Structure 1
Amino acid sequence: MTSLWYATVLSRVSNGSKILDIGIGNASSLLVHSQTLKSKNITVCGVDYTQEYVDAAQLNIKNKNAEDNVTVVYGSVYDSLVLSSFPIKKFDAAYFSGSISLLPDPVSALHSAAEFVKPSGHIYITQTYQKRGFPGLAQFKRNLKFITTVDFGELTWEKDIMKVFKESGYEIVSHNVIEGSVDNPMQSAYLTVLKVI
């Protein structure tokens, strides 16, 4: 699913783009598109707050010979020292691939990422949002990390995330269901594009 999300975002960015990837994880979903990164000369600098994911990402990057296109560091989106450690000081875009729901303060995370995006650049967010639910669903999602070792974050309602985007102060350029991804009466996966002022 997230490799489709990466494909959707990578198809929208220009050749030579520099992307700050927040919550890159082990980079496997990005690296499915290593040929696109190379052919479009896209550079991705990723950050993740789980050291095991960063270690796995660095190995995956090496195995895909993608060192010229992808760099990953351990740290938090809220730590400007971490984000300023990349050789690129201003990115064309920032990207949250399924990571916005993992963050305790998503508005601050958007602001933190935007500090490192060029004026008029974009923030891309791909995430599945709930439209309807049933009793126990939120707890079930929280417990998935113990079964799969992947933290899927909190149940995120579409109406709540729209409030987050509005509170961020950035222009919502688009907010559309991702074609070919999750889209049913309970939940849908969206690509949201925000414009940095």
Structure 2
Amino acid sequence: MSGISVRNQIYALIFDDITSWCYRNCLSYFHPGATILDVGIGNGIMMKHFHQLIREKELSIIGIDINKTYLNQCNGYIECFNLEDHIQIQNAPIEQYEPPARPYFDYILFSMSFMLFEDQRLVLDRIKNWLKPQGQLVFFQTLFKEKLRLIEFIKPKLNYLTTIDFGRITYEDAFYNLLQEKGVTVVKDRLIKKEWFKGEYRMIVANPENGTGPKKSPPPSATG
């Protein structure tokens, strides 16, 4: 078995459920005809389950990722499900990517990718003027409310065991403080699923145009 296939199988084993939760909620949230930047599209496995929804809603998605192996598999899914008119992919980091125009996107989606960035402030600064008027940022990620030293120690080590970068552990207060610092208002904070060690999969929708920072969000509610 090749190293590439092993890596893809490990990725699928770990992320298939998370990916399904992410795109089921986010694709349903996007309005029909929306233009989306998917930051960290990965191997595109979500197309297996949601290709029909993408076509029905006439979504236009640009997916970027720094992993060529994942993008090769992603391109295979695009061809398999005839999504060439709906999904384009590009091998580029968010720190260097340039959109086709400014403004261009209705939504910028961070699908379990925001915790991977070394300089999150730089990323937020770069992307603000990529959004159309009323455009929104959508974060899907695991958040923790309490300090977990054990997880902080283990998470970086997983990269060596699985060849997958899991990024840093993200705490709710720090995440909200960062958005407030950058003048980004949270308009929706939805609890998707509770996980081990009191982690929570959350979908957070934010408006970067209102400079007052995040207002108090309604309590997250579980969704099916």
TM-score (norm 1): 0.88
Quote the residue 1:15 is aligned against: 32
Structure 2 distance, partners of 1:83, 1:139, is 35
Offset at 1:15?
0.7
Contact 1:133 1:186 survives alignment (8 Å) = no
Alignment of 1:68 onto 2:80: no
Distance between the aligned counterparts of 2:78 and 2:174, measured in 1?
35
The RMSD of aligned alpha carbons is 2.0
The Cα shift of 1:87 comes to: 7.5
Q: What's the counterpart of residue 94 of structure 2?
A: 77
Larger-gyration structure (1/2):
2
Shift of 1:12: 1.1
2:106–2:132 contact (8 Å) kept in structure 1? yes
Contact 1:145 1:151 survives alignment (8 Å):
yes
Counterpart pick for 2:64 among 47, 51, 56: 47
Contact 2:102–2:131 under 8 Å retained in 1: no
Q: Greater helix percent: which structure?
A: 2
Q: Report how far residue 149 of structure 1 moved.
A: 2.8
C-alpha displacement of 1:18: 0.6
Per the TM alignment, residue 88 of structure 1 is displaced from its structure 2 partner at its CA by 8.8
Name stretches of at least 5 consecutive residues in structure 2 with no aligned partner: 1-17, 210-224
Q: Which has the larger displacement, 134-143 or 186-195?
A: 134-143
* Aligned equivalents of 1:88, 1:35: Cα separation in 2: 29
Give per-residue Cα distances to partners, 1:104-151, cap 9 Å, x unaligned: 111221232222110221000000012235443212111222333321
Bigger relative contact order (CA 8 A; separation at least 6): 1
Superposition pairs of residues 94-173 of structure 1, within 5 angstroms: 94-173=108-187
1:183 deviation in Å? 4.5
Task: Give 1:40's aligned amino acid.
Answer: K
Aligned residues: 192
CA distance in 1, matches of 2:160, 2:196: 26
- Using a 3 Å threshold, how does the CA distance of structure 1 residues 46 and 88 change in structure 2: closer, same or farther? farther
Does the 8 Å contact 2:47/2:81 carry over to 1?
Answer: no
Does residue 1:193 correspond to 2:205, yes or no? yes
User: How many angstroms apart in 1 are the aligned matches of 2:78 and 2:102?
Assistant: 18
Identical positions, percent:
26
1:89 positional shift: 5.7
Q: Which stretch shifts more, 40-49 or 109-118?
A: 109-118
